[in-house]
Amino acid sequence: MNRRLLTILLSAFLVAVLSAFIVYRLVGSRIAAVKTQATTTVVAAAADLQIGSIISAPDLTTVQVVGTAPPGAIVDAKKAIGRGVISTIYKGEPVLDSRLAPEGSGGGLAATIKQGMRAIAVKVDQVVGVAGFVTPGMRVDVLVSGVPPEARGGQQNTEIRTILQNIEVLSAGTDIQKDQEGKPRQVQVVNLLVTPEQAQVLALAGQESHIQLVLRNPLDTKVADVQSTTVANLFANPNASKEKPRLGPIRSKAPKKAEPFTVTVYNGPRKSEQKFEAPGEKK
| pLDDT tens by residue, 14-47 | 888 888 888 888 887 777 665 656 788 899 999 9
Per the DSSP assignment, residues forming a β-bridge with 146 are: 159
pLDDT given at position 35: 61
The pLDDT of residue 101 is 82
Q: Which residues of the chain have pLDDT under 70?
A: 1, 32-37, 105-109, 125-133, 150-156, 174-187, 236-258, 261, 263, 265-268, 276, 278-283
Continuous segment of H or E residues that includes residue 191: strand 184-194
Residue 37, burial from CB neighbour count under 10 angstroms (0-12, 13-18, 19+): exposed
Confidence (pLDDT) at 195: 92
Cα 160-165-167 angle, rounded to 5 deg: 125
Q: How far apart are the first and last CA of the chain?
A: 160
* pTM score of the predicted model: 0.53
Contact in structure between 135 and 172 (CB atoms under 8 Å): yes
